Amino acid sequence: MADASARSGKSLAPFRARPFLNLTGEEDAIRLTERQREELASIGVRVRVRPRTAIYQEQAPADSVFAVTEGVVKSYRELPSGKPLVAAFLFPRDLFGLAEGGRYVNAARAITDVTFYRLPVAELAVLLKHDADLAYSFLAKVTHELREAQRRALLINRPDAAGRLAMFLVWMGERVERTAGMPLVPLPMTRSDIAAFLGLTLESVSRTARALERDGLVKFEGRHFVRIVDPTRLARIVADV
Amino acid sequence: MADASARSGKSLAPFRARPFLNLTGEEDAIRLTERQREELASIGVRVRVRPRTAIYQEQAPADSVFAVTEGVVKSYRELPSGKPLVAAFLFPRDLFGLAEGGRYVNAARAITDVTFYRLPVAELAVLLKHDADLAYSFLAKVTHELREAQRRALLINRPDAAGRLAMFLVWMGERVERTAGMPLVPLPMTRSDIAAFLGLTLESVSRTARALERDGLVKFEGRHFVRIVDPTRLARIVADV
DNA sequence: CGTCATTTTGAGGTATTTCAACGAAGGTGG
DNA sequence: CCACCTTCGTTGAAATACCTCAAAATGACG
């Protein structure tokens, strides 16, 4: 399945989640306690894989759940026609390994160099049923994933390609530190992946990207970076639903 | 907010969930223990509302989470353009009330006569942090919602209206007992709701529905029922991605 | 039974998909 | 280290399908 893996006694890398229903309105992330991180680390295996490595196949027996600590993973499935459909991009602190009936509903593959923790569900379930706080944290995390899924659904609901792509770029930009003006946003995935995520064809993504660049909204630097040149107008396109 | 509400000491109506990661492959639902149902019922309020009643508004302070026991609810939001977008239809045993930053991300409205439990989050959070099994059940339930959200995303990813509508009808049909051949599937929501869910215009839904009927795949009986006439060909359209 | 929202139907414009071919980049092996 | 090859991305032109605008018909509801 994975290239290299070694049991690790070190504490699990910071794993952040948001409350299921946040009454206070605070945006601060919940952090696991040191003990909880150690618990997870004790049952987990740290794995590092190279780009394009398959982490698990669609419909394979779901024996583990995964937590990204470094890099980007895509969760996807092949449609009957053979066209791929990307269900989600997973970034550090994200969980993946959604299953139904004991089998993974999607396949997962590394996009970049990736480090993740592999947590056997059998042992994880024991932990969760034993530690209400831990279960609560996972609940918060899955709730966050649910919001992301709804956001994506909202995104691909709009009929116009420009709006979809603009929304995607803004979304990707949100997870980069906006230190300097005109942030350089990394796009580790391929155009095909973006197309498969947005529900567009590769050609549409390519054309729309060029159009946004011609209009001076963004500037692509290489294939894996975008510079947001005119955030205001870009935001206007995004809001124009 | 709601028409009538009364604190209830009766046990919470059956609330079913699936395991977060189901190793055994069993499809049987997890049921809450009698004690857990009583705990929930003790903090919950049973509410009955009439069709089209607003349950909460978008961006309203999120003080409760809800569990449907009877009827159908829609979770939706108004886009800046004024066009509504349906995020999900909620059926008995479904949870709703997704929040972020202490506010509901969507609005919720009853489609039919609806009975639901309203669970104050402050008290619910206390319960969840004390009862790992209960938290686990909620985790399983939210995971289920996440799968549904992904399914919808998959659904509206396809460009063809016929495929989307066919997928929707099959999906609705899955939740009805297939006792007799040619099941009569209820469609409690309006065509506009369906359009807002599928990411199509009302006109497209109407035209596509008529086209499916002309081709002898389904037969609409009134505005709120469909009979699946040719499940095989309908399934073929659904699979034809 | 009348009013009004919902749905159906029609015709035209437009955007995306398809189909096809070229060009660029990255990875592999000699 | 270079050359080849495979994958990915760009560009062009035509067809299809959906959307928009508009108006009539059906059904729901008081």
Tell me the pLDDT tens digit for each residue of A154-175. Answer: 888 888 999 999 999 999 998 8
Residues of B in contact with A159 (CB under 8 A): 199
How many whole angstroms separate alpha carbon B10 and alpha carbon B39? 10
Per-residue model confidence (pLDDT) at position B15: 54
- Higher-scoring residue by pLDDT: A42, B182: A42
Output the CA torsion sign for A32, A145, A58, A110. negative
Q: Which residue has the tokens 């004690």?
A: B35
Residues of A in Cβ contact (< 8 Å) with B63: 23
Tell me the C-alpha distance between A77 and A69, whole Å.
23
pTM of the model: 0.87
Tokens describing residue B202: 């009302």
What's residue B179's pLDDT?
A: 61
State the smallest CA–CA distance between residue A68 and chain B in angstroms.
18
Q: Provide the H-helix boundaries in B104-201.
A: 121-130, 132-157, 161-174, 191-198
Question: Which CA distances in Å does B199 have to A160, A181, B60, B83, B215?
Answer: 12, 35, 25, 11, 23
Distance from CA of A235 to the nearest CA of B (A): 13
Which residues are CB-neighbours of B26 under 8 A, at least 6 positions away? A101, A102
Cβ neighbours around B4 below 10 Å, total: 9
The string of pLDDT tens digits covering residues B127-152 is 999 999 999 999 999 999 999 999 88
Structure tokens at B110: 């009853």
Q: Per mean pLDDT, which range of A9-18, B129-138, B147-156, B213-222 is the poorest? A: A9-18
What pLDDT, in 10s, does the model give residues B11-48? Answer: 455 555 444 444 333 344 566 788 888 889 999 999 99
Residues sharing a CB contact under 8 Å with residue A115, sequence separation 6 or more, in sequence order:
A46, A47, A48, A68, A69, A70, A71
* Joined tokens for residue A163: 């709006």
Cβ contact (<8 Å) for B21 and A136?
no
Note the CA–C1' distance, B219 to D25, in angstroms. Answer: 20
CB atoms A157 and B85 under 8 Å = yes
Residue A126, C-beta contacts closer than 8 angstroms, at least 6 positions apart: none
B204 touches strand D (CB under 7 A): yes
Predicted pLDDT of residue A9: 42
Question: If you write DSSP's letter for every residue of chain A in order, what string do you get?
Answer: --SEEEE--SPPPP-EE--SS-SS---PPEE--HHHHHHHHHH-EEEEE-TT-EEE-TT-B--EEEEEEES-EEEEEE-TTS-EEEEEEE-TT-EE--EETTEESSEEEESSSEEEEEEEHHHHHHHHHH-HHHHHHHHHHHHHHHHHHHHHHHHHHSS-HHHHHHHHHHHHHHTS---SSS-EEE--S-HHHHHHHHT--HHHHHHHHHHHHHTTSEEE-SSSEEEES-HHHHHHHHH--
**Rounded percentage of chain A residues whose pLDDT exceeds 70:** 85
Identify the closest residue of chain A to B63 by CA–CA distance.
A23
Judge if the beta carbon of B226 is closer than 7 A to nucleic acid strand C: no
Higher pLDDT, A45 or A4: A45
- Cβ contacts (< 8 Å) between A150 and chain B: which residues? 87-88, 98, 105-106, 149
**CB atoms B150 and A87 under 8 Å:** yes
Q: Which of A167-181, B51-65, B147-161, B163-177 has the highest mean pLDDT?
A: B51-65
Quote the pLDDT of residue B210.
96
Given a contact cutoff of 8 angstroms between Cβ atoms, the answer to whether B240 and B170 are in contact is no
Closest CA in chain A for residue B119: A21
Tokens found for residue A144: 């966050």
What pLDDT, on the 0 to 100 scale, is given for residue B155?
87
Beta-carbon contacts of A87 under 8 Å, excluding residues fewer than 6 positions away, are: A75, A76, A77, A106, B150, B153, B154
Task: Give me the amino acid identity at B229.
Answer: V
Does the pLDDT of residue A181 top 70, yes or no?
Answer: no
Q: Give residue-wise pLDDT tens across range B80-128.
A: 888 899 999 999 989 999 999 999 999 999 999 999 999 999 999 999 9
Whether nucleic acid strand C comes within 7 Å of the CB of B201, the answer is: no
Distance from CA of B153 to the nearest CA of A (A): 5
CA of B192 to C1' of C3 (A): 21
Nearest CA in chain A to B86: A154
Which residues of chain B does A152 touch, with a Cβ-Cβ cutoff of 8 Å? 153
Q: Which residue is nearest to nucleotide D27 (CA to C1')?
A: B223
Supply the pLDDT for residue B6: 41
- The pLDDT tens digits for B165-181 are 999 999 999 887 666 66
Q: Which two tokens stand for residue B167?
A: 């997928």
Instruction: Decide if B154 and A85 are in contact by the 8 Å CB cutoff.
Output: yes
* CA A120, A74, B169, B91 torsion-angle sign: positive
More confident residue, B7 or A214: A214
Q: How many CA atoms lie within 13 A of A72 on its CB side?
A: 14
Subunit contact B101:A135, Cβ cutoff 8 A: no
**Strand D close residues, chain A 178-237, CB < 7 angstroms:** 190-192, 202-203, 205-207, 209-210, 220, 223
Closest CA to A43 of A102, A168, A127: A127
pLDDT at A48: 93
Q: What tokens does A31 get?
A: 């952090």
| Amino acid A198: pLDDT | 95
* pLDDT score recorded for residue A29: 54
Q: A118: which strand partners?
A: A45, A66
Distance B204 CA to D16 C1' (A): 15
Closest CA-bearing residue to C1' of D18? B204
Helix axes B202-214, B191-198, angle to 10 degrees: 100
B111 CA, C2 C1': Å apart? 26
The mean per-residue pLDDT over the stretch B186-194 comes to: 96
Question: Residue range A162-189: average pLDDT?
Answer: 87
The phi, psi pair for B158, rounded to 5°, reads: -70, 140
pLDDT given for residue A176 in this prediction? 79
Chain B residues whose CB is inside 8 A of the A95 CB are none
**From CA B135, how far away is CA A131, in angstroms rounded?**
9
| Closest CA relative to residue A66, chosen from A131, A12, A19 | A12
CA nearest neighbour of A124 among A95, A87, A88: A95
